[in-house]
Structure 1
Amino acid sequence: MSHASGERAVPFHCPYCGDGDLWPGEEGHGAWECHSCLRAFSLRSLGLVRPQPAAPEAPR
């Protein structure tokens, strides 16, 4: 996540193998490496979404 305070979005599980042996990658902000399946991936925050108003219920 991109915050002014410099917080990182931290994944809890690898999106490929599901393991939690993750380490920050060398490619910079948002890059992660899974030491279980040896894949590298990146995370990027796209921002916040506005909640959608609930659709009105149909009369019964």
Structure 2
Amino acid sequence: MTQYKKYLENNYTKVTIEAYFKGITIFNNFLGDREITRTTIDEFKVYLMEVRKVSIRTVSSCFY
């Protein structure tokens, strides 16, 4: 994670980095102690759209 943060700091603005880490935190909290699988990613996408009211367009741009 440290290398990723350094990469971001060299290539993106502070606001963008904060947004990325907010997304990572939300995903980590959603996962709890579950493994990252295709199923949990799909469940997270539904969670974002139904619970957090994130648009499908935004969700789709984050998860290919």
Higher relative contact order (CA 8 A, sep 6+): 1
What's the TM-score once normalised by structure 1's chain length?
0.23
Which has more radius of gyration? 1
Higher strand share: 1
Higher helix share: 2
